Structure 1
Amino acid sequence: MGAELELAEDEAASVFSARKVRARLRADDGKPVPAFRATLAWGKERLLSLFHEGQAAESLVRARAHLVDEVLREAWLRHLSPDSPGIALIAVGGYGRGELLPSSDIDILLLHDGTSLEHLRKSLEQLTAFFWDIGLEVGSSVRSLDECASEAAKDITVITNLMEARYLTGDESLFGAMQKRLTPDKVWPVAEFFRAKKAEQQARYRKYDDTGYKLEPNVKESPGGLRDIHTIGWVAKRHFGASTLSELRDHGFLTKQECDELFAGQDLLWRVRFALHMITGRREDRLLFDHQVKIASLFGYVNSDPQHPNQAVEQFMQLYYRTIKSLSCLNDMLLQLFEEAILHPLPDAAVKIVNARFQIRNGYMEARNDDVFRKDPEALIEIFLLMQQHRGLEGIRAQTVRMILRDTRLINDEVRNDVRARTLFMEMFRERRGLTRNLRRMNRYGVLGRYLPAFGKVVGLMQYDLFHTLTVDEHTLYVVRNLRRFAMERFRHEMPFCSQRMDKIAKQELLYLAGFFHDMAKGRGGDHSDIGASEARQFCLDHGLSHTDAELVAWLVKSHLVMSLTAQRADITDPQVIAEFTRKVGDRTHLDYLFLMTVADIRATNPALWNSWRESLLLDLYKATSRTLERGIENPLRQEEMVDETQAEATPLLAAQGIDAATADKAWARFGDEYFLRHSAEELAWHLPAILKAREEELPLVIVDTVGGRGTTVFVYMHDRDHLFALSTGVLARLGLTILDARIHTSADGFVLDSYVVMEGDGSPIQNPHRHEEIREQLRKVLGDPAISRVEINRRIPHRLKHFNTPTTIYVSQDEARARTVLELVTADQPGLLSMIGRAFHKRGILLDAAKIATIGERAEDVFFITDSAHRPITDEETLDDLREVLTRTLDRSEA
């Protein structure tokens, strides 16, 4: 056994000496169960105290295993003799490694010789029952030597567990016999084992979307987590029988610095996992939001900035993310070294010389000399450009990765200012192909943050909310990835319109640079768009771009939120809104760049955010802006023209359904211009046939369908009635639906034509026809009963939302052109939110003209266009103050 493990066991023994533990267990006065329970409770309290005192995690996990060893051995003595022939008690899995956290699985194997089991069965059953009686949740398997060999040969999980087996008590000769039957020459040869573990890791990565940088990572299973360290240990054990990770250094696979880095990362993850088990009282490996706050406090992080209430948790999580980044890098490097040693031990294939510094060997780029980067630090940039220029390479050879990690510190201001380094870096963006993959490599190996210190500051930086689902650096690289996919033929099916617009972009590298810089100034105070724009401009000029190109990149960084905010929060059926946005854009070139940037950013921020409805909003804004640019900003579309065009487009669609123009015009005469401004021609052709067919006794008319790629739309046509908006949204909320958009309209003769775009609560589209029917029937039932004035919504606030406090904030402005008041509301999302707002409006005689609904993670950011009961804007400050007070009191949750 290695010295490292011996030392760890010595530390464990110092926490729980075998003599003291046995003395406690045997002080039972004839009642063993209370004594065993008391000993386990004492051990748990001792471990928690040591954790709070800052004891190394290594000694804590070893001590917990050591304590359980003594408990199991003593329990064995109570039920079987210590040298019972033909049966042995074996620790397996993580417990076999001697690693136990407070609530870790305790896996044991009752190993027998195939003949002794029957006469010991009663004793073993009593032993197993005793484990449960004392509160020790033990996962046990009973196998003979033949069964162990057979099951191990069939299942990679079984062989892995048994490889880590550790003898506890009983017939020790059985343990030795089992080990001899599981050697690589008998089952799972080293090469086969390595391939299986690598495939297992890749499958695990896919389960977590190939990133460990999500907001609620799994400390054990996510990429960069403890399981990556286990994988390294398993392969090392199978390859050369290593019993400790430090033996990797002895075999030349790790340097001392890398070994220290590996152990430091493992220690942090163990401490985090220990804290998770401690605060939850159960096995828990997920760093959920509420756990993050508690652990940040346990680890001594504090909120020292009143303007930054989440400072402590974000600092703790940045340390966590940077740790798993380092561990992922070591995992990559070691698995590649193992692959070379295990799968390619024969002489290397022919070497292809690339230039004086680099060459290609066995499909990997490598440095030709150990001092390449020391002599020419700009080669730390060059190697990644070469990776882009030479297609089909597997990666950078592990020994060269080690050199990169060693020499990144050489990137200083002198290198950053060197024209050669700047030229190489810019050439990566112009090369395009392989850009995302190599930026990821540069980030993982620490080069990107060294070359651009501003990027280094956002590595591992998270925002404690439900909106941004990745760390800032990961999000940034996803934006670049999305932009690249618009330009790649094999991804044209994903976003055809975006691919078409990308074809028109003259200098795609400017778009990639803007995506790369758009969030780089986050976490530094101030407006990150303004700061980032200034830094992007200077970067472009320093790297040889023209002033025109630099200004375009800076403008995109500064304006990267403008299009999404306009589409989601403004009334884009209003010609004035379109005219104002067009003035901000200025020309088609800027519009194309900004549109692509906006789509890529939204899709990289939160997968649940991108849907057909949001896509349709951006497309509508893009097309309206394009038309305004064609006509000239000084000659925007007038409202009357927009109405006429929509009706003209709908006319042939209606004719195909047997409705002539005269019939349509007569029906449409009842509806005001706002109806035609807010609905597409496809929607008009969907509504009118149903309206014309509906008899009085069939009202309310409710139809549910997907029209024009805008998601599922619920359309309600009926006589106007009190509480209509509150009731409608209440029913939809009770059904667990999320409302994306509300368009409210009342005809001149008192009929409502209300539309709601909805999706399932988990963000998925509504595809089941039975679900459509359920929505229709529930709405008809409630809206058709005049006695119903309120819908009770019994859905609880989702667990994840409870950990965020978003105080209600209300802004009021006047839309003078359309004679209405605009109320912008930011508050905590909760079931039935719109219904509560609707009731508040109704009680005060406020009419809702339209609503723009946006749920941004845990926040609802909604805009309501309202008037008083006489259809006039609300300008009385006392009335507005009363409305603000009521909404704030109603919506702020005390439990948030």
Structure 2
Amino acid sequence: MTNQGRVLYSVGYFGYLKEGQMQELFEESLTDLEDELAVSKAIKGEVRHYMEGLEEKFDQNLGRHFSYRHAREMDRLVAFVYKAVIRRYFKEYLPPLNHVPLVFIALGSYGREQLSVHSDIDLMIVYKEVGGYNLLEMIEKMIHIGWDCGLKISHRVHEVGELLEVSRSDITIKTSFLEARFICGSKILYMETEARIEQIRKDNKEGFLREKYLEYLERHKKFEASMEPNIKEGRGGIRDANMLFWVLYVLYNVKNPKEMEGQLYDEERYRDFRSSLEFLFRLRDAMHLVNQKKNDTLNLELLPFVAKKLGMESQDSSKDQFGLAKKTLLCMHEIEHFCAYVLRQIYRRHGLLPAYSWRERKEARQEGGLFLFKSSSSERLYARGALKRFRIGEFLGKLLELETIPEMSEGVVERLHRSKLTLSSKKERERFKELLLKPQSHRFFRALYEAGKLGEVLPPLAKIRHLPQFDGYHAYPVDLHTLKALEILEALERDSHPFLSELYGSLDQESLLLLKLLVLFHDAGKGRSRDHHLVGETLFRSWSKRFLLSEESRERGGLLVRFHTLMSSVAQKQDIYSEEVLLEFVSRLKEPENLDLLLLLTYADVSAVSPGRFNKFIEKLLLELYKNAKATFEKRELLGDATRKLKRLDLLERSAEFLALPSPLRQKIRQIASPLFFIKLTPAQIAELSKKALGVEDFCFEVENQDFLSVSILRRQELNLGYLLGKLSIFNVASMEIFKMFDGIKYFHIEFLEKAEEDEMERLREIISESFDMTRHPKAPKPTILKKDIIFEPNHSESYAEIRLNTKNQKGILAHVASVFDAFGIDIASAKIMTIKERTRDWFLIEKNEAFFRHQGELVKAIAINDKK
């Protein structure tokens, strides 16, 4: 190859050879390039060097107009291959290209000049049978050279006279013909081809457009809105814009939708649509470059790399990913609803959709250019004059006159989009409140969502518009999840679930209104830096005043927004038969009525996460938890401590000492069951004690002897409490606290009325160490305990039994009781020691373990001692 041939790899349209330079090179280097292998090698080098520079070219202006420029570069390379083949066949007798009856035409995204990096180069090669030309062999040679050079050519070959017949064989083929664009070859033959395409455009317009509309609707059903959208085929994807292009071309012979400004849509609406579409083109090219292959689904794992490729790079990569996902969803939403409105308008104008009779339209006519069409299965509201605007108060008033809220057409959505919908007056808020109580009110909110006005009517929801959720759990962005939850809730009006529908139907008006507001607000706190439960609670308490709810309902609503995931979490992650779990759960809810609302809210919330998420297993867990919680509410005597525990736990969680602890340790502390642990100890004591407990292998202890003797023990290993108390029976016990903590660790704190002598301290520490030997037996004075002084409550709760002593204060009482428990293998969960007027009032909470059930009949008899009766 000559030096001139090597220049081929250095300059051009994106930094390589220009068309004129290539032509000159071919003419001057014919001898060197005559060999087919040399031609292929030269073109392959051009393609390779072009492809290697794509990322750099994309990065130069962040992909703006990249698809157009890429399509044009492919035109140059295709023309290059064609000229090489022509020169090979004709050599120095090369005729003018217009005399060779071949034309190369771009189809599909290539034809629309929207070609992405790894998309196929869709070619149609049209020829005309003329004697003396070996056209099919030339075409085959060109395709093979193109493939060999690395061009992803997808082709179809047709004789010009068969184009109309071929287009009638398949709607996809006809669609591709509508996107035809000249690349190279005979311009005379292309003019004839254009005439055929014009025939195709006019051929069976109605049948073609009806079939494309059904295809469009089926595609929307297949590709639901998703956290990982398909930006080509999904709702609001590039294919929706293609659909608009096909319809405008077939009906109006318009290839640029901008030409229809002022007729079908205004300049501002079209500008928003076009801007959104251009972003999707850039996004698709970035996805192809990042993935290094054709990929039209914005997978979550691609987000950080695609965001960087598009220049959305900042200090916070997670914020960049949220920004990219949100913008993608926003752009697809804009495209979907612009196309839906324009297509519906066109199809109705041209009679391509089922039409209503004059009588039906007369019966459906409402005030303000509205029409309400009813069928046996649905009601749908239409609007004439979509460029007009609604007054929100009047529109709400109109809807309130209807028995149920109807579905709303694209025309109604377009009117809402153009209207100011702020609920500024008391009357408007009253009407909004009434509308919430209407059956199928979710249809109104869905129309607001489609119009982009949900955050205008309810400002707290503005922050969640198209907000992605990267939790691996939710399939939809936050706003769409919220609307689906409301729709699922209102389906209970139609007896969609035997038990839940009955519960839903039993709600009074105030509770029903509260429940629907809860569904709308439950995720309103997302998208902030703080916990969305707490933010949502604040938003609800603030904004619910506007809807004239009672103070009681606002308090209940705030509480339920704060704990809206509690029921699902407890049902799926905790023991729903554990009394401690149930007590804590119902203590947070405070009232049984709140449990009813939370069950319905949880059902709607979980069901709206993704299709099939609310299954029989989850349903069974939730209903079982509901039943158990209802029964727990009746145990009022047990709820006092549990409620106090929660108050103290809330105080603890706001303390600096608690917040300074590692997150895993904070979670362990939350799971401590004993209410007394939180009631008795301060946040500082709890934090310090928990840090010590975390490092305990077998046991550790501390002895203090300032004003009085006190012993603190943390143990994982079994403690011989009877022995310990027996050896220390020379001191009078003032109080004893026993708490089960976490990881099998138990905490003992014993305070005595006296102070020990300094020379006794070493022996005290020895006694404590010896107390972990379970073979030792205490030697202590035997007190007198009468049976009548013992109160035994084996059914104190499902998990615990209670023993109370009210007897004369004597040394050795605690040692004796602890020895009985040790002998029987019974575990003390908690204890309180109190002495008043020479009488001891001791209280023990003991676990109902296997040993308890084996010995419960012997307990009172074993504890009673020196009872002469």
TM-score normalized by the length of structure 2: 0.66
Alpha-carbon distance in structure 1 between the residues aligned to 2:367 and 2:254: 38
For the pair 1:568 / 2:572, whether they are aligned, the reply is yes
Alpha-carbon distance in structure 2 between the residues aligned to 1:327 and 1:635: 58
For 1:634, what is the secondary structure of its paired residue?
helix
For the pair 1:557 / 2:598, whether they are aligned, the reply is no
Alpha-carbon distance in structure 1 between the residues aligned to 2:673 and 2:265: 70
For the pair 1:153 / 2:164, whether they are aligned, the reply is no
Number of positions where the alignment pairs a residue of Structure 1 with one of Structure 2? 635
Residue pair 2:439, 2:493 contacting (<8 A) in 1 also:
no
Report the equivalent of 1:321: 329
Distance 1:25 1:97, change over 3 A: farther
Residue 118 of structure 1, CA deviation: 9.5
Residue 426 of structure 2, aligned match among 414, 419, 425: 419
For the pair 1:120 / 2:135, whether they are aligned, the reply is yes
Distance 1:581 1:56, change over 3 A: closer
Correspondence 1:672-687 to 2 at 5 A: none
Distance 1:565 1:381, change over 3 A: same
Report the equivalent of 2:345: 337
Task: State which drifts further: 106-115 or 224-233.
Answer: 106-115
Residue pair 1:501, 1:592 contacting (<8 A) in 2 also:
yes
For the pair 1:61 / 2:67, whether they are aligned, the reply is yes
Residue pair 2:82, 2:142 contacting (<8 A) in 1 also:
yes
Residue 248 of structure 1, aligned match among 252, 260, 278: 260
Correspondence 1:41-190 to 2 at 5 A: 41-45=48-52, 47-54=54-61, 57-58=64-65, 60-80=66-86, 82-83=97-98, 85-113=100-128, 119-145=134-160, 147-183=162-198, 188-190=203-205
Report the equivalent of 2:20: 19
Alpha-carbon distance in structure 1 between the residues aligned to 2:629 and 2:536: 26
Give the counterpart letter for 2:244 in structure 1.
I
Higher relative contact order (CA 8 A, sep 6+): 1
Report the equivalent of 1:459: 465
Report the equivalent of 2:632: 628
Distance 1:191 1:404, change over 3 A: same
Residue 436 of structure 1, CA deviation: 2.1
Report the equivalent of 2:822: none
For 1:102, what is the secondary structure of its paired residue?
coil
Distance 1:543 1:811, change over 3 A: closer
Report the equivalent of 2:503: 501
Alpha-carbon distance in structure 1 between the residues aligned to 2:23 and 2:336: 42
Residue 284 of structure 1, aligned match among 289, 292, 295: 295
Distance 1:419 1:391, change over 3 A: closer
Residue 197 of structure 1, aligned match among 192, 212, 227: 212
Percent same amino acid among aligned pairs? 23
Residue 274 of structure 1, CA deviation: 1.0
Structure 1: runs of 5+ lacking an equivalent = 1-10, 637-806, 819-843, 846-866, 879-896
Distance 1:25 1:347, change over 3 A: farther
Distance 1:16 1:512, change over 3 A: farther
For the pair 1:513 / 2:517, whether they are aligned, the reply is yes
Residue 234 of structure 1, CA deviation: 0.8
Residue pair 1:579, 1:628 contacting (<8 A) in 2 also:
yes
Distance 1:119 1:457, change over 3 A: same
Residue 312 of structure 1, aligned match among 317, 320, 328: 320
Give the counterpart letter for 2:282 in structure 1.
R
Alpha-carbon distance in structure 2 between the residues aligned to 1:157 and 1:232: 15
1:390-424 per-position Cα deviation (integer Å, ceiling 9, x unaligned): 77666152xx654433344xx4xxx4331232123
For the pair 1:604 / 2:596, whether they are aligned, the reply is no
For the pair 1:522 / 2:526, whether they are aligned, the reply is yes
Distance 1:37 1:236, change over 3 A: same
Residue 149 of structure 1, CA deviation: 2.4
Residue 418 of structure 2, aligned match among 406, 412, 415: 406
Alpha-carbon distance in structure 2 between the residues aligned to 1:607 and 1:117: 64
Alpha-carbon distance in structure 2 between the residues aligned to 1:93 and 1:868: 75
Alpha-carbon distance in structure 2 between the residues aligned to 1:619 and 1:388: 35
Structure 2: runs of 5+ lacking an equivalent = 1-11, 87-94, 374-379, 640-662, 676-696, 699-715, 720-739, 748-869
Distance 1:809 1:817, change over 3 A: closer
Alpha-carbon distance in structure 1 between the residues aligned to 2:406 and 2:499: 29
Alpha-carbon distance in structure 1 between the residues aligned to 2:295 and 2:386: 47
Alpha-carbon distance in structure 1 between the residues aligned to 2:572 and 2:132: 70
Residue pair 1:91, 1:165 contacting (<8 A) in 2 also:
yes
1:799-829 per-position Cα deviation (integer Å, ceiling 9, x unaligned): xxxxxxxx988943576679xxxxxxxxxxx
Report the equivalent of 2:307: 296
Report the equivalent of 2:835: none
Report the equivalent of 1:641: none
Residue 436 of structure 2, aligned match among 419, 429, 450: 429
For 2:607, what is the secondary structure of its paired residue?
helix
For the pair 1:233 / 2:248, whether they are aligned, the reply is no
Report the equivalent of 2:409: 395
Report the equivalent of 2:770: none
For 2:231, what is the secondary structure of its paired residue?
coil
Distance 1:70 1:382, change over 3 A: farther
Report the equivalent of 1:812: 668
Residue 40 of structure 1, CA deviation: 2.5
Alpha-carbon distance in structure 1 between the residues aligned to 2:26 and 2:449: 53
Alpha-carbon distance in structure 2 between the residues aligned to 1:242 and 1:523: 43
Residue 426 of structure 1, CA deviation: 1.9
Residue 190 of structure 1, CA deviation: 2.7
Task: State which drifts further: 314-323 or 620-629.
Answer: 620-629
Distance 1:388 1:355, change over 3 A: closer
1:149-201 per-position Cα deviation (integer Å, ceiling 9, x unaligned): 23321322111001111222334454444444454688653332222222111
Report the equivalent of 2:763: none
Report the equivalent of 1:613: 617
Residue 365 of structure 1, aligned match among 382, 396, 399: 382
1:767-794 per-position Cα deviation (integer Å, ceiling 9, x unaligned): xxxxxxxxxxxxxxxxxxxxxxxxxxxx
Distance 1:369 1:604, change over 3 A: closer
Residue 441 of structure 1, CA deviation: 1.4
Give the counterpart letter for 2:334 in structure 1.
S
1:672-724 per-position Cα deviation (integer Å, ceiling 9, x unaligned): xxxxxxxxxxxxxxxxxxxxxxxxxxxxxxxxxxxxxxxxxxxxxxxxxxxxx
1:24-44 per-position Cα deviation (integer Å, ceiling 9, x unaligned): 777794222232223223434
For 1:90, what is the secondary structure of its paired residue?
strand
Distance 1:580 1:317, change over 3 A: same
1:561-616 per-position Cα deviation (integer Å, ceiling 9, x unaligned): 11112112221121232233233334442222111111221122244643332222
Residue 61 of structure 1, CA deviation: 1.4
Give the counterpart letter for 2:214 in structure 1.
A
Give the counterpart letter for 1:241 in structure 2.
N
For 2:608, what is the secondary structure of its paired residue?
helix
Residue pair 1:12, 1:62 contacting (<8 A) in 2 also:
no
Distance 1:808 1:168, change over 3 A: farther
Larger radius of gyration: 2
Residue pair 2:164, 2:200 contacting (<8 A) in 1 also:
no
Report the equivalent of 2:274: 263
Distance 1:815 1:99, change over 3 A: closer
Residue pair 1:86, 1:113 contacting (<8 A) in 2 also:
yes
Alpha-carbon distance in structure 2 between the residues aligned to 1:614 and 1:380: 40
Residue 516 of structure 1, CA deviation: 0.6
TM-score normalized by the length of structure 1: 0.64
Report the equivalent of 1:594: 598
For 2:469, what is the secondary structure of its paired residue?
coil
